[in-house]
Chain A
Amino acid sequence: MHIEQVCRRLSCILFGALLLLMAAGGHAQAPAEQAPVAPSIESATPEAPTAVVPTAPDSSAPVDEASAPAADSVNHEAAPEAEPEVDLSAYLGSAGASSSMPSISDPSLRFYGFADFGLRYVDHEVLRNFLGETPSFFLGNVNLYAAADLSENWRSLVEVRFTYLPDGTLDSNFKRVSTVQNDYANIGANLRWGGISLERAWLEYTFNGLLTVRGGSWLTPVGIWNVDHGTPTIIPTMRPFVVSSALFPTRQTGIEVYGSRLIHETTVGYHLTLSNGRGSIASYGDLDKNKALGARLYVGLALGDSTLTIGYSFYLGRNTETDLTVGMAGLQPQITLQHDELSMAGDLLWKWEGLHFQSELFSQQVKYTAAGAAAPPIPGPNGGVFSDFHKVGGYAVLGYRFAAIPIMPYIEGDMLFNNGAELSQPGGPNKVFTLVGGLNYRPIPSVTLKAQYARLMFRPLREETLHVNAFDVVAAWSF
């Protein structure tokens, strides 16, 4: 108990001290810097190198004293009637002024990303074996984006995540995987290599506001959390257990069509998807003849000072896994797992000034085919094969972002029920409840500091509830 209390207080003290340091820095700043923005985003637009505006307020040319602006202020005074030619090519694109329909975009490649680092304590003996003795510092996500506006209508996005995995993971014999290799570039030194996860890579063409076609690998457009995606954007330190359980596939490879329209003050939008669905090679191959279908419909309402977005999503697909066997006819695929899946979800996002409430409900129904019911690792009552199952879950996050102080205290609850009859059913324990309380502090738009306490309650089939306390202090930043 002593170490637990020490770690709780350590987390509180560490975060409070960090915030005190930030506040002290904030007081020392000049007033003009008190409302910082992320200049790297907005400054992506190239300035016209030859643009000359002699009547600009800060021009060195002599001006009428009566209209001379104050030296330390920006004041857009009325320009004189005769203005010299201004080079607009940087704003109009490579077509320049000579084209009757100039392109407004030059192919421009932008690199940006996000990362997070934190301190975590988990007071569960079994989980510590997986996560290491806690409290532990960790480098979480390091994600890099490459985005390009190829033309006015064509756009591309590639996102990768750099990770230490698979180094340190436990294999099927509970042995830790080591990726240590001799570094040929530094004699005598070792190198521990990690991996790259392709988060998404797509190309899209926009016909109009109602129709954009996207092809490649993309995040499944379900609800809120899967789209928010990055740690600087999400409010808590980590995604809810029900979201991590992926009742919808996190990403798919195929075609997505989407669009939206404003009707008076109401936005109506949609997504339609066609993909390989789920599976071990779904990113680049489909092991069955069924393509997965998905859709999301949403409505965004402006209600006075508040906004309300309500959405509904579904996914219908078949998941097939095969091995290859060598027989008389040569290599033949052998189905090792196959099931049909119907997932549905509803989402709600309500914002009223600083108040933020979001919630999602998920349902996943899985039915194994006769040829594809696999055997679970631990035999269960269903004749030695996985039973069909129906998972239901959801979460809700409520927070309030103060205007004067960019902090947001929040609470969260989430749950996941699995009525499957097998132990070690795909998806884990039978019932999971989580209660979370924390603080989200965004001192500048690019940096988010979070401190969180979570109480997880797992109730597996043995009916003995496991309780886990987890403390996180995380710094997430975009660059």
Chain B
Amino acid sequence: MNTIRSIVSVVIFSTLGVGFSLPDTTQLAVAQSQGALAVIVSPSLTEKDISLALLKRAFRGDVTEFAGVRLVPFNYAPDDPVRVVFDKGVLGYSPTQVGAYWIDRRIRGQGMPPRTVPAPQIMKAVVAKLPGAIGYIPASMVDKTVAVLTVDGVALKAANYPIK
């Protein structure tokens, strides 16, 4: 009986002692106003469609091949609104969860997070130049220097496009 009482007291007392932190939804709402995000690669790649599962694998840090080349993912800073939308849509993680994920991964001795670039203009330039580079930009910034991939066969402008 004392054992059960001890367990319950630790759990309940500690739970009541915790305040409420502002959830990540506010940041996500701001980020989602960015619209759809285009997944971009070099125009030299022959494949034009990528599965959401493969995209998730690449940006979770696992070695991923696509169209015969190893993908080199590029990200933005963790608090960038575009990054927030991408992480939620592809990884299913809030910014806090993303931070925890990469900390846990490096403690395990697994790979480091993708490199970051400061702006979509640089993202386009890197992706256009580096074979295997993969990134994402707001749909409004797409031009002919990069190729846009469909995701699970869904085009960027489709209503059911998953990353927006």
- A-side interface residues toward B, CB under 8 Å? 8, 11-13, 15-17, 19-20, 22-24, 26-27, 31-32, 34-39, 41-45, 47-48, 51, 53, 55-56, 73-74, 76-79, 81, 83, 86, 88, 91-92, 97, 101-102, 104, 110, 112, 114, 145, 147, 149, 155, 157, 159, 200, 206, 208-209, 212, 218-219, 227-230, 232-233, 259-260, 262, 264-265, 267, 302, 403-407, 409, 411, 435, 437-439, 441-446, 451-453, 455, 469, 471, 478
Q: How far is the CB of B15 from chain A (nearest CB, A)?
A: 7
Kindly identify, within residues 65 to 107 of chain B, every residue whose CB is under 8 Å from any CB belonging to chain A.
65, 70, 72, 74-75, 77-82, 94-96, 98-100, 102-104, 106-107
Closest to B98 in A: A37
What is the bound-complex CA distance between A444 and B102, given in angstroms? 13
A453 touches B63 (CB 8 A): no
Does B21 interact with chain A (Cβ within 8 Å)? Answer: yes
Closest to A113 in B: B107
| Known A-B contacts A36-B96, A228-B104, A233-B108; A56 and B121 likewise in contact (beta carbons under 8 Å) | yes
A12 touches B112 (CB 8 A): no
27 contacts between A and B (CB under 8 A): A12-B13, A15-B14, A23-B17, A24-B19, A34-B22, A34-B23, A35-B24, A35-B27, A35-B95, A36-B95, A37-B95, A41-B103, A42-B113, A45-B115, A76-B119, A76-B138, A79-B121, A86-B125, A91-B122, A101-B131, A102-B130, A233-B104, A259-B63, A260-B62, A405-B20, A446-B103, A453-B7
Kindly identify, within residues 120 to 162 of chain B, every residue whose CB is under 8 Å from any CB belonging to chain A.
120-122, 125-126, 129-131, 133, 137-138, 140-141, 143
A19 neighbours in B (Cβ, 8 Å): 14, 17-19
A91 touches B99 (CB 8 A): no
| Known A-B contacts A104-B115, A208-B70, A446-B103; A76 and B120 likewise in contact (beta carbons under 8 Å) | yes
What is the bound-complex CA distance between A215 and B11, given in angstroms? 44
Inter-chain pairs besides A12-B14, A20-B17, A260-B62, 12 sampled, C-beta below 8 Å: A31-B22, A35-B96, A37-B95, A42-B77, A91-B115, A209-B70, A219-B109, A233-B107, A404-B21, A404-B23, A437-B7, A439-B11
What is the bound-complex CA distance between A455 and B6, given in angstroms? 10
Q: How far is the CB of B160 from chain A (nearest CB, A)?
A: 17
B3 neighbours in A (Cβ, 8 Å): 435, 453, 455, 469
B96 neighbours in A (Cβ, 8 Å): 35-37, 406, 444-445
| Known A-B contacts A260-B62, A267-B57; A157 and B109 likewise in contact (beta carbons under 8 Å) | yes
What is the bound-complex CA distance between A443 and B6, given in angstroms? 24
What is the bound-complex CA distance between A11 and B7, given in angstroms? 12
What is the bound-complex CA distance between A230 and B100, given in angstroms? 13
What is the bound-complex CA distance between A207 and B72, given in angstroms? 14
A439 touches B74 (CB 8 A): no
- B-side interface residues toward A, CB under 8 Å? 3, 6-11, 13-24, 26-27, 30, 34, 51, 53-54, 57, 62-65, 70, 72, 74-75, 77-82, 94-96, 98-100, 102-104, 106-109, 111-113, 115-122, 125-126, 129-131, 133, 137-138, 140-141, 143
B22 touches A76 (CB 8 A): no
What is the bound-complex CA distance between A405 and B17, given in angstroms? 12
What is the bound-complex CA distance between A409 and B143, given in angstroms? 49
Q: How far is the CB of A269 from chain B (nearest CB, A)?
A: 9
A45 touches B21 (CB 8 A): no
B30 neighbours in A (Cβ, 8 Å): 73
B15 touches A407 (CB 8 A): yes
**Contact among A56, A104, A262 for B130, CB-based, below 8 A:** A104
**Contact among B15, B99, B141 for A38, CB-based, below 8 A:** B99
What is the bound-complex CA distance between A114 and B106, given in angstroms? 10
A403 touches B23 (CB 8 A): yes
Q: How far is the CB of A109 from chain B (nearest CB, A)?
A: 12
B14 touches A302 (CB 8 A): no
**Contact among A76, A230, A233, A267 for B141, CB-based, below 8 A:** A76
A31 touches B26 (CB 8 A): yes
What is the bound-complex CA distance between A261 and B78, given in angstroms? 27
**Contact among A16, A157, A218 for B14, CB-based, below 8 A:** A16
A232 touches B130 (CB 8 A): no
B63 touches A209 (CB 8 A): yes
A208 touches B63 (CB 8 A): yes
B137 neighbours in A (Cβ, 8 Å): 76
